[in-house]
Amino acid sequence: MSENLELIKKVENVIDQIRPYLEADGGNIRFVSLTEDNVVNVELLGACGSCPMSQMTLKNGVEQAMKKAIPEIKAVESINN
């Protein structure tokens, strides 16, 4: 369980690093959960919640940064799709 908590702290740290870029475009991101198979669930907020490019931002931006920083992460999914 402590291994999972450590992973969650790393995930939240990466999200905190990404957040200013999303906020610059009127959006935001919130960590929701980490699944047993290391999929990060997030909620896209503000402009990101309704932007047609949000899936591209999620996969090409957030997911790539997350996987680079934390190789154990398999994917990042948005709960508001």
Q: Report domain extents, the chain.
A: 2-78
Q: Residue 34: which of 64, 68, 69, 74 has the closest Cα?
A: 74
> Given 3.20.20.80, 3.30.300.130, 3.40.50.720, 3.80.30.20, which CATH number is that of 2-78?
3.30.300.130
Whole-angstrom Cα distance, residue 54 to residue 41?
14
Q: Which long-range contacts link 7-13 to residues 24+ away (Cβ below 8 Å)?
A: 7/34, 7/38, 7/70, 7/72, 8/34, 10/69, 10/70, 11/40, 11/66, 11/70, 11/73, 13/69
Q: Is residue 30 within 8 Å of 40, Cβ to Cβ? A: no
Q: For residue range 8-23, what is the model confidence (pLDDT) as tens digits?
A: 999 999 999 999 999 9
Q: For residue range 40-79, what is the model confidence (pLDDT) as tens digits?
A: 999 999 888 887 888 888 888 899 999 999 999 999 999 9
Predicted structure pTM score:
0.89
In 10 A of CB 22, how many CB atoms?
A: 22
